[in-house]
Amino acid sequence: MDRMTRFLQSRMEGVSARLHSPVRSTRLVVVLGRLLGPAFLICFGTGIFSHYLQEPGDATFFLTRPVWIYQLTQGIHITVGIAAIPLLLAKLWTVYPELLKWPPIKNVWHALERASIALFVSASLIELTIGLINTYKWYPWPFPFRQTHYWLAWIIVGSLALHIAVKLPLIVEHWRKRPEHAGAPRPAGRWSRRGFLAAVGLGSVALVVTTAGQSFAWLAPFNIFAPRKMGTGPQSIPVNRTASEARVEKLAADPLWALHINFRDQLAAYTLEQLKAMPLSEHNLPIACVEGWSQYANWRGVPIRNLIALVGAPADSLLKITSLEPDGGYRIMTMPAAYTEDEQTLVALQLNGETLDMDHGYPARIIAPGRPGVLQTKWLKSVEVLG
């Protein structure tokens, strides 16, 4: 047994020694951490914002101005998350020889440190992977994406805080370049530290430039990798779920379609002709999908506050909005008062001066300022005033 331990120990030390490279210095690990830490915190903050817009708590407040607020926060969320992938991989590559050190556990403190890192690394890898896959509208797992992504985020910030606390002495020591290192001869090896960092940084920047065009119009010409391209799709706007995917084509094309509205015992129904004859407003608002892509358009329709006023409901009402869609996660949506009372929230009938395309929600859809795309319900059936 003793020989076995010694044998294992010498093997591990051999591997560690061979893996030693100037790239694997503490200073480099700290430099990468200085980039990764803020990236994770930015993703966490923007992610929490998005989560609570979709699943409001009692304390949630809703911002409707600037109208591009969600486009900005979610664009940052996806872009920074993508940039973090090469950084995290680089950091793992620089530290993995540590995992082979012997003995694997020295004492209770050391065991805790390793457990927190193991948790942090595995949660981060899963988080970034499912997030990236989700931007391609691909959900190949049996669990609900948003809840999983949300809980992993808490695990990540918790274990990250622990990790930073444990490593604080090293972080402080290596935060700034030490003068005795500054003048030292360049370390020999296949990779210099600076070259490695430059390559990783360049990789991150290149990835951002070639994907962020789905969220930020000025980068759109460089969008190579992102799944959605601006200006594509019916009426030059991307579509998330088409009418045929939602199996709503027949119901939406029904000439007898009418929008049903009810408030207490007041019931009303308006045909498309009647809606078109009402005073219409036009606003330039973005659709900003949680998956990162977004695009502005001119929407024309009836302000929803005017519509519910017809059945006597106050402007600051909570609404339950139902789609013609027979099933699907986005069939029913609740609209908090902050959006209902906003004059820019429309039951939209037109997009960029034309009748809504079937895929964009014909005969009528919701468009509200500052709201996640998933709550911009298409193919409206009814609006119910809840209170």
Ligand X SMILES: Nc1nc2c(c(=O)[nH]1)N[C@H]1C(S)=C(S)[C@@H](COP(=O)(O)O)O[C@H]1N2
Beta bridge partners of 301: 281, 348
Residue 259 as a binder of Mo ion (CB under 5 A): the answer is no
Q: Which is nearer to ligand X, 22 or 213 (CB)?
A: 213
Binding to ligand X by CB under 6 A, coded x per residue (else -) over 34-73, reads ----------------------------------------
3 state DSSP class of 258: strand
Choose the binding region for ligand X from 46-54, 143-151, 261-269, 323-331 (rule: CB under 6 A).
323-331
Distance (Å, whole) CA 184 – CA 189: 15
Residue 361 C-beta: closest distance to ligand X, Å: 6
Chain residue at closest Cβ approach to Mo ion: 289
Give the interface size with ligand X as a residue count (CB under 6 A): 20
What is the C-alpha radius of gyration for the chain, rounded to an integer number of angstroms? 26
Residue 289 C-beta: closest distance to Mo ion, Å: 3
Residue 359 C-beta: closest distance to ligand X, Å: 6
Paired tokens of 2: 């003793």
Would you mind telling me the total number of residues written for the chain in this entry? 387
CA separation, residue 176 to residues 24, 194, 198, 349, 372 (Å): 17, 15, 18, 58, 41
The Cβ of residue 323 has, within 10 Å, a number of other Cβ atoms equal to: 23
Paired tokens of 85: 């992938």
Residue in 116, 211, 240, 317 binding Mo ion, rule: CB under 5 A: 240
Q: Give me the helices (H) in the chain, please.
A: 2-19, 26-54, 69-99, 108-135, 145-174, 179-182, 193-211, 249-253, 272-276, 304-309, 337-340
Residue 254 C-beta: closest distance to Mo ion, Å: 26
Region for 40 from its dihedrals, namely left if φ exceeds 0, alpha if ψ lies in -120 to 50, beta otherwise: alpha
Using CB distances below 5 to 8 A depending on partner kind, what does residue 237 bind out of ligand X, Mo ion, none?
ligand X
Q: Is the peptide bond before 363 cis (omega within 30 degrees of 0)?
A: yes
Q: Which is nearer to Mo ion, 241 or 260 (CB)?
A: 241
Q: What is the DSSP string of 326-379?
A: SSSTTSEEEE-HHHHT-TT-EEEEEETTEEPPGGGTTT-EEE-TT-BGGGS--S
Residue in the block written with tokens 């964009």: 360
Question: Segment 245-274, which members bind ligand X (CB under 6 A)?
Answer: 246
Using CB distances below 5 to 8 A depending on partner kind, what does residue 330 bind out of ligand X, Mo ion, none?
ligand X
Using CB distances below 5 to 8 A depending on partner kind, what does residue 348 bind out of Mo ion, ligand X, none?
none
Choose the binding region for ligand X from 100-108, 203-211, 239-247, 253-261 (rule: CB under 6 A).
239-247
Give the closest residue to 60 by CA, choosing from 52, 68, 51.
Answer: 52
Question: Segment 289-308, which members bind Mo ion (CB under 5 A)?
Answer: 289
Question: Segment 342-381, which members bind ligand X (CB under 6 A)?
Answer: 360-361, 373-374, 376-379
Using CB distances below 5 to 8 A depending on partner kind, what does residue 367 bind out of ligand X, Mo ion, none?
none
Which residues contact ligand X by CB under 6 A?
A: 237-241, 246, 287, 289, 323, 325, 328, 330, 360-361, 373-374, 376-379
Which residues contact Mo ion by CB under 5 A?
A: 240, 289, 373-374
